[in-house]
């Protein structure tokens, strides 16, 4: 069958197109689209995940930044189902408006150079996101799911785990892509926590505390947070200030930010 796609992957956009049929099938199985779901794919590329999802679900919205991919993607999709294309930088897409009062399920093989900003952008709209299935650099997935005491436990993991359940699903080798990236990849599932389960009182304060705590990892919390925390705040949160950030669990960061928000 003749391909509709003549444009080669663009290095400047971090494009690595998935082609491994087994991996693609595993992703579709993990997403498991159900009738009535509003699926949104970020960065469909040449449609490796798009078309199998359309075959299964018959309707899909995609967000694509590369104008050169839109016409061939739209043409090829006609044989699979109804495709709605949003030509935009995903960081400028208002997911809350896109949900139109319902909920979205996000899917995507994310550009690795933009993965963290995209994750935080999705988190800003978590109240309308039912779940997310993303392909990311394996190192990033490891950081997202890490617990205290791990060498890769840091700001990304704390911020995501406070608002989502993070579940790594399976690894993906470089050979599954064209061109193959220089790193291993992994697929992860994120499920936003119900509002009643999120203990963060002040999101801005929580973000500020976590950012400063991990800003200089070798410092103790007493030193890293000296501008915002005093002994009373640490005591209220039940945290020993001589600890370093990587030793402190997510719920303790939440308690500390809440203590500070209560005195602000």
User: pLDDT, tens digit, for every residue of 102-119?
Assistant: 999 999 998 888 899 999
Q: 118 with 226, same domain?
A: no
Residue 113: what pLDDT? 83
Residue 57 located in a structural domain = yes
Judge whether 18 is annotated as a binding position: yes
CATH number of the domain encompassing residue 231: 1.10.8.100
Domain count of the fold of the chain: 2
Range of the domain at 121: 11-197
Residue 121 located in a structural domain = yes
Q: 161 with 227, same domain?
A: no
Q: Is 67 exposed, middle or buried (0-12, 13-18, 19+ CB in 10 A)?
A: exposed
Q: What is the pLDDT of residues 199-250, one digit of tens each?
A: 999 999 999 999 999 998 889 999 999 999 999 999 999 999 999 999 999 9
Q: Confirm if 63 and 93 have CB atoms less than 8 A apart.
A: yes
- For 192, phi and psi rounded to 5 degrees? -55, 135
Beta bridge partners of 188: 134, 168
Residue 15: what pLDDT? 52
Identify the H or E element spanning 131: strand 129-137
Distances (CA, A) of 247 to 71, 93, 163, 197: 50, 36, 20, 23
Q: Which residues contact 101 (CB under 8 A, 6 or more apart)?
A: none
Residue 252: what pLDDT? 96
Q: 215 with 139, same domain?
A: no
Q: What is the pLDDT of residues 156-181, one digit of tens each?
A: 999 999 999 999 999 999 999 988 88
Encoding tokens for residue 207?
């973000």
Judge whether 87 is annotated as a binding position: no
Query: In degrees, to the nearest 5, what angle opens at C-alpha 116 toward C-alphas 113 and 117?
Result: 90
What is the spatial distance between Cα 226 and Cα 53, in angstroms, rounded to a whole number? 50
Residue 125: what pLDDT? 95
Q: What is the pLDDT of residues 30-59, one digit of tens each?
A: 999 999 999 999 999 889 999 999 999 999
Residue 16: what pLDDT? 66
Residue 36: what pLDDT? 94
Judge whether 258 is annotated as a binding position: no
Judge whether 43 is annotated as a binding position: yes
**Is 75's pLDDT higher than 60?**
yes
Please state, for a pLDDT cut of 90, what percent of the chain lies above it.
83
DSSP-assigned states of every residue in 150-190: STT-SHHHHHHHHHEEEEEEEEE-GGGEESPPSS-EEEEEE
Judge whether 109 is annotated as a binding position: yes
Whether the predicted model's global pTM rises above the 0.85 cut: yes
- On average, the pLDDT of the chain sits at 91
CATH number of the domain encompassing residue 156: 3.40.50.150
**Is 6's pLDDT higher than 90?**
no
């Amino acid at each position: 069958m003749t391909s509709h796609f003549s444009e080669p992957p663009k290095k400047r956009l971090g494009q690595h197109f998935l082609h491994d049929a087994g991996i693609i099938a595993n992703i579709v199985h993990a997403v498991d689209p159900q009738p009535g779901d509003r699926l949104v794919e970020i960065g469909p590329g040449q449609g490796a995940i798009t078309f199998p999802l359309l075959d299964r679900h018959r309707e899909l919205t995609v967000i694509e930044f590369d104008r050169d991919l839109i016409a061939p993607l739209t043409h090829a999709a006609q044989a699979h189902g109804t495709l709605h294309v949003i030509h935009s930088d995903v960081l400028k897409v208002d997911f809350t408006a896109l949900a139109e009062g319902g909920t979205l399920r996000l899917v995507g093989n994310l550009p690795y150079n933009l993965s963290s900003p995209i994750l935080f952008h999705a988190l800003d709209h978590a109240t309308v996101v039912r779940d997310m299935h993303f392909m990311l650099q394996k190192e990033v997935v490891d950081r997202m799911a890490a617990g205290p005491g791990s060498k890769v436990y840091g700001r990304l993991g704390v911020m995501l785990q406070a608002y989502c359940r993070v579940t790594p699903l399976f690894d993906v080798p470089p050979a599954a892509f064209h061109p193959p990236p220089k790193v291993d990849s992994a697929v992860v599932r994120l499920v936003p926590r119900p509002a009643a389960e999120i203990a963060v009182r002040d999101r801005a304060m929580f973000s500020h505390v976590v950012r400063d705590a991990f800003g200089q990892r070798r410092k103790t919390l007493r030193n890293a947070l000296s501008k915002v925390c005093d002994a009373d705040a640490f005591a209220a949160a039940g945290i020993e200030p001589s600890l370093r950030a990587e030793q402190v669990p997510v719920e303790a960061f939440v308690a500390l930010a809440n203590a500070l928000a209560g005195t602000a």
